[in-house]
Amino acid sequence: MRPVFISLLLFLSACSGPVNDPYPASEFGKSIFYSAFTEPPKHLDPARSYSSNETPFTGQIYEPPLQYHYLKRPYQLVPLAATAVPAPHYFDSSGRELPSTAPASEISESVYEIHIQPGIEYQPHPAFALDKSKNPVYMPMPSDVLGRVGAIPDFPRQGSRELTADDYVYQIKRLASPRLQSPIAGLMANYILGFDSLSEKLNSAAKTQKGWLDLRQFPLAGVETVNRYTYWIRVKGKYPQFVYWLAMPFFAPMPWEVDAFYSQPGMADKNLTLDNWPVGTGPYMLTVNQPNRQMRLVRNPNFRGEPYPSQGEPGDAAAGLLADAGKPMPFIDEAVYSLESETIPYWNKFLQGYYDASGISSDNFDQAVRTGAGGDVELSPEMKEKGIQLRTTVAASSFYMGFNMLDPVVGGLDDRHRKLRQAISIALDEEEYIAIFANGRGIPAQGPLPPGLFGYRDGQAGINPVVYDWTGGKPHRKSISSARRLLAEAGYPDGRDGVTGKPLTLNFDTASHGPDDKARLDWLRKQFRKLNIELVIRGTDYNRFQDKMRDGTEQIFEWGWNADYPDPENFLFLLYGPNKKVGSGGENAANYQNPEFDRLFVRMKDMANGPERQAVIDQMVQIVRQDAPWSFGFHPKNYGLRHSWVKNAKPNLMANNELKYLRIDAAARETARARWNRPDWLGPILAVLVLLLALVPAWRAYQRKLQASAR
Amino acid sequence: MRPVLLWTDGLIFLLVAGLIAFVVLVRRHEHLRAPWRKVAANPVAVAAAIVLLFFTAIAILDSVHFRLALPAGPSGAVHYSPEVKSVLDVLSGPLAEQQEKSYSAPFATHLFSRETVTLPDGRQLRTYPRLRYGGASLHDPERGRSGDILMRTAEGLAGGALVWLMLWLGLKPVYGKAASRRTIANTLLALCLISGFLVALATHYHVFGTDKVGQDVLYITLKSIRTGVLIGALTTLVTLPLSIGLGVSAGYFGGRVDDAVQYLYTTLNAIPGVLLIAAAVLIMQTQLESHPGWFETGTERADLRLLFLCLILGMTSWTGLARLLRGETLKVRELDYVMAARAFGVSDVRILLRHILPNIQHIVLISVVMDFSGLVLAEAVLSYIGVGVDPTMSSFGNMINGARLELAREPVVWWQLAAAFVFMFVLVLSANLFADSVQDAMDPRSRRNA
Amino acid sequence: MIAYLIRRLLYALPILLGVNLLTFALFFLVNTPDDMARLHLGVKRVTPDAVEKWKAARGYDKPLFVNARADGLGKVTDTIFFDKSLSMFAFHFGVSDDDRDIANEIKTRMWPSLAIALPTFVIGLMVNVSVALILIFFRRTYVEWSGVVALVALMSVSGLFYIIGGQFLFAKVWQLAPISGYQSGLNAARFVWLPILVGIVGGVGSGARWYRTLFLEEANKDYVRTARAKGLSETAVLFRHILKNGMVPILTGAVAVFPLLFMGSLILESFFGIPGLGSYTINAINSQDFAIVRAMVFLGAVLYIVGLILTDVSYTLVDPRVRLS
């Protein structure tokens, strides 16, 4: 081992700069944003991408008509590629236009007319490359090209063209394509006129026709091009939330050339697909796609230079967030995302300055954050010394423990079963959970709605009276004895069946099996033991778990939901009866069905935000609290850390195109990295010395042996 | 109280019974005894064997399970608590119950991380709260702690020494005038002192600290021993019939049988072991899911999973021994007296039992002791990949897996990793040392070389 | 020789077929295509209809072994078994469940795996042989005794501890290596030296001990005693006889595992974030990507058989007494 080690030392000392720099020396001092992804993105096709690990890429590349304002709160839609946020025009069943105040029952159709800005250009891409006679260079693909290229940037000829309304229409048709299986196809079929019949036509066409399906040949009744820069979308009935979908990559433009280009034979075998090589008009384009290693976004040279917003929340100017107001974005030249599937290396590299931003896992919490008296958080001295900045936000998500309402023991809407669920809801000490597993980064949920959404209520009016008492100006979880009382009323005095005396055993179904999960599961069992209920953990793999949820054979489970858009409908629909998981395959995982709740939901869905809607939501939340199909968990607080050299950072839970706003001080970063990564040679040298010392007796034995044989 | 016989419990008792029968057999036959004398003369082997026995004893104590009866219900029918306990749980007494809120260091009196506490006057303070059990008897932990620990250590050591003395006197008929009685005495003394120390301190402190949910790490480690020992021991129980049956018949009968067996083990060998195990474990999970009637409690479920894991490990690891046995049988088959027996028309079964088996038993024995440590180590790796024992079960693999994340904390939480390291190291090391000396004593080849 | 090789290759076919059948049975028993579909379509908004479409797109909607609805040869060829399993004999691994070409992926991931496995193996072999030789050299001294004890102690430590400890000390505390990651080309050296070091240290216990017994066996043979009795110096005996003859089983053993180096190290790679075949396999197991696992199982079996053949060949090369017949 010795010679190896010494040659290693020599090799390492020959390198310049920090020896643990994970990036090549050629990137030194450049305006590059360094981040990581924990799971390789699977789909970058805008029709398919729906996972949060894909949005860091899709958000920078695609430009749907709308976006969320970067600085303003509450979240507000502003135009991105469009010229304005479209207001719907309502029509009744006879095609007469209705005033915007018309009641939802009269509206049979809403029409959205979207104007896009002229002069927007796509990123350079071989699909747009034309030869002298204006014919595509790579369609059909010349036979010798594919053998020589491995990635889209390898194509010698690249081109571009202007964005038109047709591209948006083409993409909406793609959502209906059976080959793509867009995750929102089922939902859109409920809303966009003619979506169903297009889907069927495409389905039969896909069976007979191999290769590219030219979607321009298939009309979609609800979506029409008006002129080069304008198109219409006709939505069934009134669906005020539709406009939010227009800010998601599902509604980004897709040129037919690109679709045709990727559909050519031999492309998929080389991973040349839209899922790997997205094409858009956004500020960045993907130039390296190695999902097992690194993804690299580079500034789109054709980007129009959208100006940085010049208005924000009060306080933004003081925080320096308006310093770049009006300047053309983006500011950063490149963004490098490395695969980092574990939290330990991620955190350590962040501390070493090799990642520009990081979250805080519960294991690093005490190192990063100090909580002062009164619960206010601030960074630890070590972080402050490094100039790291902390931003906290309550995420628009909700974690909960669900009871399968179809289960004979925990389900059912009658009083007995309801009390059992209420008792468990009280016993599950979410405050302790948040303290242990999230270091206090979360607020216990009082209902299905997370704060920041319309309909959420704060303070005494917002507490869950089933689980909490309001005393001393704060919610307090009811005592365990009241939970026991409820349990007894439910027919299980002291956790045992009142009739047979059999101890109550419940099953918890989960798909988690990671190292940290054992602690969590242990904690959960501890909570049930407070009621003398034995909780059996039925761990399984993810597939089986999904199966169980679909078949409704689970009993108790954990689930969570991230907002698709900032509207209460997006959370309350998780409890809407017709959305049941069992039978209809919807998102109502608890299979909860309360007719009164369902009636109110249908009413609430189409209402405009206002006191009337608030009243309906209050009623709905109250029903759910009493029925307790969920034991409400918590709404996580996001703690984001950024290094001092990252400017213009403001957490935005809805926007996914944040990269263009950011600015990097690369020189400051290099100084910091050099300071934080001084290698410690003393340790290994000592280790080698100890090893050598251990060999001394061997050497002496050798000498003795030599002498002996010489004699 | 109702005794509960888990599958693995039954098998481990079966194994112990088999072991005892084997010992009796060996004592009766001088030619079998001779190599064991040699093992017994080796001080390292004796010390390792005692440590192994100690671990096995813990595993067996942890394998006697029962469910406590609940107070009679209204219908008068007796019901039992769904919680399955073992003798070890009872013996370790308060260890299982003394749960803190979260991490605490070994011998700590306060939690490891700060928490917001509300003072009696309503003010809130971010501080290290006192532990509920660790050093709870101290009024002023700042000053009283080290004195208290010293006192208890002395008590524990003295108690340990006393127990050792009684053991030493009581065991006199067993060791008699054996050459290695000094080693026996020293090893026993060390074990007694360590146990005495742990017993005296563990009830008042968390000797190895507590884990994320506040469980005593010493308790988890003790529970992990059973998993490790069982995987090592039961897997060989599964392996033996397969490898002996197939290996010996391939070597003895030759021809088609040989071809078939060779094909079977070459095919199995060709698949990378981990992949085969992973696939099989996934199947097992499906089976457990679709048959909820197989188990009544969570413990029984975890136990079934352990059993299946042993079966799977056995199914995938019999090939090596089978190959060895086939080769050895080929050799033995050609020995003069075996040939003679066959010529006389002695039945195959008889020849196999009387002549072949005794001649290959040393290979089986060596492979059993050699495999044991490898299997204990394999459990940790498999649990890391996520195809190991049930995540609710205490095991070294699960401990290491959880502790890995703790190492990234600042300040580092090192005690769970350290505890797993120490116990696992001692277990595997003594198994390795014992296996070595057994091999030295049994293998005629190395006997010639010595 | 060539006839022999062909015969061995023909003999390999039934084994590969067996491996294929076994894995096919395992994977399609555990996970029906329905499960795979739901796993890969994600949690949000998955309808039964989408599942059907997913299966159809991948050819998972076909029957397992016999297609009653097809005509003629299609009865056998238009099945999942033919599509997904038999085509592997032509090294057509198809696409993984996230639509990436597996053969392509194997080609790119092979190199990082080799960059770690090959040096670990070669340097490890040299280190192990040297340690074993040193122990033999100091036979019957306390050096040997303490060396053997140290080796047994080393091999009693779970490999996980080496990795965790090495990463903690070298990367976190001493900041001598990037904590994880990989770059291609010469830059790779910065990333791979630590996993290689850990791999070598982790293997030295069992490796050196095993080689020691091999050398010991050799050292006790009669010709060695004769050589020594003739007055040959201890060093000469060690290198000219023991090392030379002891290396035969070591090298042939090495040849057998050599092809398997391509598969990479499962745990080392996933700990250090090396994008090789080992971490590919682990990820596939965790995400239950059966297409990948099937491909890796098949590849492993092929490499194993290649190793077997290489071993036979290398025996004839080093030992002229062995004839291939």
- Residue-wise pLDDT for A164-204, tens only, equals 999 999 999 999 998 888 888 888 988 999 999 999 999 89
Cα(A195)–Cα(A213) distance, integer angstroms = 16
Residues of chain C neighbouring B421 (CB-CB closer than 8 A): 157, 161
Successive 10-residue mean pLDDT values, chain C, 325 residues: 79 85 74 66 63 73 73 72 75 77 87 92 94 86 85 90 90 87 85 93 91 86 83 81 83 83 84 88 78 86 86 74 54
Strand partners for A335 = A33, A297
User: Which pLDDT score, from 0 to 100, does residue B392 have?
Assistant: 76
Contact: B75, A347; criterion CB under 8 Å: no
For residues A277 and A289, the answer to whether their CB atoms sit within 8 Å is yes
User: What end-to-end distance do the CA atoms of chain B give, in Å?
Assistant: 55
User: Which pLDDT score, from 0 to 100, does residue B449 have?
Assistant: 37
- Chain C residue with Cα closest to A676: C175
Please check whether residue B83 lies inside any domain of the structure: no
- Chain B residue with Cα closest to C18: B267
Q: Which of B102, B132, B212 is the best substitution to test chain A (most A C-beta atoms within 10 A)?
A: B212
User: Which pLDDT score, from 0 to 100, does residue B420 have?
Assistant: 92
Which of the four pLDDT bands, split at 50, 70 and 90, describes residue A543? low
Nearest to B376 by CA among B57, B38, B56, B86: B56
User: Which pLDDT score, from 0 to 100, does residue B276 have?
Assistant: 83
Contact A539/B at CB under 8 A: yes
Contact B287/A at CB under 8 A: no
- Chain A residue with Cα closest to C102: A269
Residue A150 DSSP symbol: S
Give percent of chain B above pLDDT 70.
93
Please check whether residue B326 lies inside any domain of the structure: yes
- Chain A residue with Cα closest to C143: A698
| Residues A56-87: b if buried by 16+ CB within 10 A, e if exposed | bbbbbbbbbbbbbbbbeeebebebbbbeebbe
Which of the four pLDDT bands, split at 50, 70 and 90, describes residue B98? confident
B contact chains, 3+ CB pairs < 8 A: A, C
User: Which pLDDT score, from 0 to 100, does residue A195 have?
Assistant: 94
Q: Closest Cα of chain A to B106: distance in Å?
A: 19
How many residue contacts between B and C have a Cβ separation below 8 Å? 105
Residues of chain B neighbouring A431 (CB-CB closer than 8 A): none
Specify the number of domains making up chain B.
Answer: 1
Residues of chain A neighbouring B99 (CB-CB closer than 8 A): 526
| Residue B64 CB burial class (10 angstroms; 0-12, 13-18, ≥19) | middle
Task: Say if residue A705's pLDDT is above 80.
Answer: no
- Residue-wise pLDDT for B231-279, tens only, equals 999 998 888 889 999 999 998 988 899 999 988 988 888 888 888 888 7
Mean pLDDT value across chain B: 85
Task: Say if residue A16's pLDDT is above 60.
Answer: no
Among A219-233, A338-352, A471-485, which stretch is predicted with the lowest mean pLDDT? A338-352
| Residue C30 CB burial class (10 angstroms; 0-12, 13-18, ≥19) | buried
Please check whether residue B342 lies inside any domain of the structure: yes
Contact: B79, A536; criterion CB under 8 Å: no
Give percent of chain A above pLDDT 70.
94
Contact: C50, A183; criterion CB under 8 Å: yes
Contact A432/B at CB under 8 A: yes
C contact chains, 3+ CB pairs < 8 A: A, B
- Residue-wise pLDDT for A23-43, tens only, equals 988 888 899 999 998 888 888
User: Which pLDDT score, from 0 to 100, does residue A194 have?
Assistant: 93
Q: Which of A344, A551, A570 is the best substitution to test chain C (most C C-beta atoms within 10 A)?
A: A344
- Residue-wise pLDDT for A640-664, tens only, equals 889 999 999 988 888 889 999 999 9
Domains and CATH numbers, chain A: 2-16+679-710 (no CATH), 53-266 (3.90.76.10), 397-638 (3.10.105.10)
Question: What's the complex ipTM?
Answer: 0.86
For residues A70 and A658, the answer to whether their CB atoms sit within 8 Å is yes
User: Which pLDDT score, from 0 to 100, does residue A17 have?
Assistant: 63
Which of B77, B123, B402 lies closest to A519 in CB terms?
Answer: B402
Residues of chain C neighbouring B272 (CB-CB closer than 8 A): 260, 263, 296-297, 300
Question: Domain span at residue B334?
Answer: 2-65+216-449
Residues of chain B neighbouring C155 (CB-CB closer than 8 A): 432
**Amino acid letter for position A241:** Q
Contact B300/A at CB under 8 A: no
Please check whether residue B75 lies inside any domain of the structure: no
Contact: C159, B381; criterion CB under 8 Å: yes
Which of the four pLDDT bands, split at 50, 70 and 90, describes residue B290? low
- Chain A residue with Cα closest to B292: A538
Contact B5/A at CB under 8 A: no
Nearest to A669 by CA among A32, A209, A7: A32
Contact: A8, C193; criterion CB under 8 Å: yes
- Residue-wise pLDDT for B173-204, tens only, equals 777 777 778 888 899 999 999 999 998 888 88
Greatest mean pLDDT range, B342-356, B419-433, C72-86: B419-433
Q: Left, alpha or beta for B431 (phi > 0: left; psi -120 to 50: alpha)? A: alpha
Contact B391/A at CB under 8 A: yes
Please check whether residue B92 lies inside any domain of the structure: no
Please check whether residue B403 lies inside any domain of the structure: yes
Q: Which of A346, A546, A562, A703 is the best substitution to test chain C (most C C-beta atoms within 10 A)?
A: A546
Cα(C41)–Cα(A389) distance, integer angstroms = 37
Which of C31, C44, C138 lies closest to A698 in CB terms?
Answer: C138
Contact: A432, B101; criterion CB under 8 Å: yes
- Chain B residue with Cα closest to C306: B270
| Residues A597-628: b if buried by 16+ CB within 10 A, e if exposed | bbebbeebbbbeeeeebbebbbebbeebbebb
Instruction: Provide CB contacts within 8 A for B78, sequence distance 6+.
Output: B69, B70, B72
Contact A644/C at CB under 8 A: no
How many residue contacts between A and B have a Cβ separation below 8 Å? 126
Contact: A20, C179; criterion CB under 8 Å: yes
Residues of chain A neighbouring B75 (CB-CB closer than 8 A): 499-501
- Chain C residue with Cα closest to A514: C286
A227 Cα distance to chain centroid: 35
For residues C193 and A369, the answer to whether their CB atoms sit within 8 Å is no
Q: Closest Cα of chain C to B283: distance in Å?
A: 5
Which of C49, C100, C143 lies closest to A697 in CB terms?
Answer: C143
User: Which pLDDT score, from 0 to 100, does residue C44 have?
Assistant: 53
User: Which pLDDT score, from 0 to 100, does residue B448 have?
Assistant: 37
Contact: A501, B72; criterion CB under 8 Å: yes
For residues C316 and C323, the answer to whether their CB atoms sit within 8 Å is yes
Task: Say if residue B304's pLDDT is above 80.
Answer: yes
Which of A371, A522, A536 lies closest to B297 in CB terms?
Answer: A536
Please check whether residue B51 lies inside any domain of the structure: yes
CA distances from B32 to B26, B27, B442 (A): 5, 8, 10
CA distances from C304 to A372, B320, C265, C290, C310 (A): 61, 15, 15, 21, 10
Give percent of chain A above pLDDT 90.
50
User: Which pLDDT score, from 0 to 100, does residue C123 have?
Assistant: 95
- pTM of the predicted model, to two decimals? 0.83
Contact B99/A at CB under 8 A: yes
Mean pLDDT within A291-300: 91
* CATH number reported for the structural domain that contains residue B413 in this entry: 1.10.3720.10
User: Which pLDDT score, from 0 to 100, does residue C325 have?
Assistant: 47
Cα angle, residue B407 at apex, residues B406 and B409 outer, rounded to 5°: 70
Mean pLDDT value across chain A: 88
User: Which pLDDT score, from 0 to 100, does residue B450 have?
Assistant: 32
Cα(A566)–Cα(A240) distance, integer angstroms = 12
Contact: C180, A678; criterion CB under 8 Å: no
Please check whether residue B141 lies inside any domain of the structure: no
User: Which pLDDT score, from 0 to 100, does residue C104 have?
Assistant: 84
User: Which pLDDT score, from 0 to 100, does residue A10 have?
Assistant: 47
Contact: C267, B283; criterion CB under 8 Å: no
Cα(B417)–Cα(B422) distance, integer angstroms = 9
- Residue-wise pLDDT for A552-564, tens only, equals 888 999 988 888 8
Q: Which of A513, A543, A550 is the best substitution to test chain B (most B C-beta atoms within 10 A)?
A: A513
- Residue-wise pLDDT for A597-607, tens only, equals 999 998 898 88
- Residue-wise pLDDT for A108-157, tens only, equals 999 999 999 999 999 999 999 999 999 999 988 988 888 888 899 999 99
For residues A340 and A292, the answer to whether their CB atoms sit within 8 Å is no
Instruction: Provide CB contacts within 8 A for A669, sequence distance 6+.
Output: A353, A356, A643, A645
Q: Which of A351, A492, A520, A522 is the best substitution to test chain B (most B C-beta atoms within 10 A)?
A: A522
Q: Closest Cα of chain A to C61: distance in Å?
A: 14
Q: Closest Cα of chain A to C260: distance in Å?
A: 21
- Chain B residue with Cα closest to A367: B410
Cα(C196)–Cα(B137) distance, integer angstroms = 50
Contact: B271, C19; criterion CB under 8 Å: yes
Question: Nearest 5°: phi and psi at B128?
Answer: -90, 110
Mean pLDDT within A566-582: 89
